[in-house]
Amino acid sequence: MRLRLVLALILSAALLLVSFAAADQLPPNELGRVMILEYHKIDYPEARWTRMPENFRRDLATLYAKGYRLIALGDLLDGRIVLPAGTTPIVLTFDDSSPGQFRYIEQNGVLTIDPKSAVGILEAFAREHPDFGRAATFFVLPTADSPNRLFNQPAWEGHKLRYLVSHGYEIGNHTLWHANLAKYPEATVRAQLAEAKAWIQRHVPDYRIRALALPYGAYPSDVSWLLRGSAKGTTYRHDAVLKVGGGAAPSPFSRAFDPVRLPRIQAIERELAHWLGYFERNPGERFVSDGDPDTVTVPAALRDRLRSELPRRLRIVDR
């Protein structure tokens, strides 16, 4: 009799604890949408295509406080979401390799990453908040005119690309010099993609480029040219093609996930505020991790939105 009472007390205490813990944590929904943010210049002054360093750092702090955590674009493509329960994956991308994205400066005779460049800000933030993660994809332009050619410090081009790859960042194809692929015939489109890859691989020979960001979001007349092929002795293959807009992306586990037309959100004040507000008002739309990379937890009502072919390692769990 007394044992039963004690058990009942323990049980109700445990339930109480669970309800407290869950009070400000969203239930898992791995069919929710994921934001892929798109930055251009990190510089002064703030403008349509420029985010000031202070504002970029504030973006990271806001995302962190709201439960977003960085994942690599490649992990999104693979449906490999390794995050604590209750958090939401987010992907950062940087287009056009402008100098404010990654700059070296000399301080007291020592070469250091400019703490006001995007990589400097990301690195500092990751040190202060290790659980935020460290990931971003840089869609670079290997032969653009200054200042967009590989971050605009010719002596350090290779060093920077190797740094990115060895520190958990990704490098993406953005054509050789920002070509509008809608305007060119097949041979030119393929040459742009293959040669951009060859230029990048001069610095990081074993690195596999998985994603292409389309300059101006412009598709050529045949999408298949973007995905695989060869030109000028170089073979290329892309698992994903990113657009310049379009809003939050579908979950990688959803039928609606189309890696050949991945939408992005331009990381400017107004757009960011809009989408953060959107997910506050519609928490059921947001991807929320279940904490287990081997399971996909889905609300029962949304189960028919699941993709039919999922990686074999994954197990589906109804919420």
Question: From CA 83, how far away is CA 289, in angstroms rounded?
Answer: 6
Nearest to 181 by CA among 191, 172, 171, 166: 191
Binding to Zn ion by residue 95, rule CB under 5 A? yes
- Where in the chain does DSSP place strands (E)? 35-39, 41-42, 50-51, 68-70, 88-95, 104-107, 110-113, 137-140, 170-173, 211-213, 228-231, 234-237, 240-246, 262-266, 295-298, 315-318
> Binding pattern to Zn ion, positions 219-258, x when CB under 5 A?
----------------------------------------
Residue 124 C-beta: closest distance to Zn ion, Å: 26
* Alpha helix stretches (DSSP H) within 80-150: 118-128
CB of 219 to Zn ion, least distance (A): 14
- Secondary element (H or E) of residue 56: helix 53-65
Between 83 and 265, name the residue whose CB sits nearer to Zn ion: 265
Q: How far is the CB of 21 from Zn ion (least distance, A)?
A: 43
Stretch that binds Zn ion, among 79-87, 94-102, 233-241, 263-271 (CB under 5 A): 94-102
Q: Please tell me the count of residues contacting Zn ion according to CB under 5 A.
A: 3
8 Å CB contact between 262 and 243 = yes
Closer CB to Zn ion, 179 or 298, in the complex: 179
Q: In the set 38, 43, 59, 96, which binds Zn ion (CB under 5 A)?
A: 96
Residue 48 CB, nearest distance to Zn ion (Å)?
13
**Which residues neighbour 127 within 8 Å (Cβ) at sequence distance 6 or greater?**
none
Q: Looking at beta carbons only, is 133 or 215 nearer to Zn ion?
A: 215
- Nearest distance from C-beta of residue 138 to Zn ion, angstroms: 11
Separation between Cα atoms, residue 93 and residue 139, nearest integer Å: 7
CA–CA distance, 53 with 57 (Å, rounded to integer)? 6
Q: How far apart are CA 82 and CA 136, in angstroms?
A: 16
Q: Which is nearer to Zn ion, 96 or 114 (CB)?
A: 96
Least Cβ distance, residue 174 to Zn ion (angstroms): 6
- Is the CB of 218 or the CB of 302 nearer to Zn ion? 218
Q: Which residue has its beta carbon closest to Zn ion?
A: 95
Strands 104-107 and 110-113: antiparallel
- Interface region with Zn ion, contact rule CB under 5 A, candidates 24-32, 113-121, 214-222, 253-261: 214-222
Angle between the 186-203 and 157-166 helix axes, to the nearest 10 degrees? 80
Tell me: does residue 38 bind Zn ion (CB under 5 A). Answer: no
Is the Cβ of residue 75 or residue 195 nearer to Zn ion in the bound state? 195
Residues interacting with Zn ion, by CB under 5 A?
A: 95-96, 215
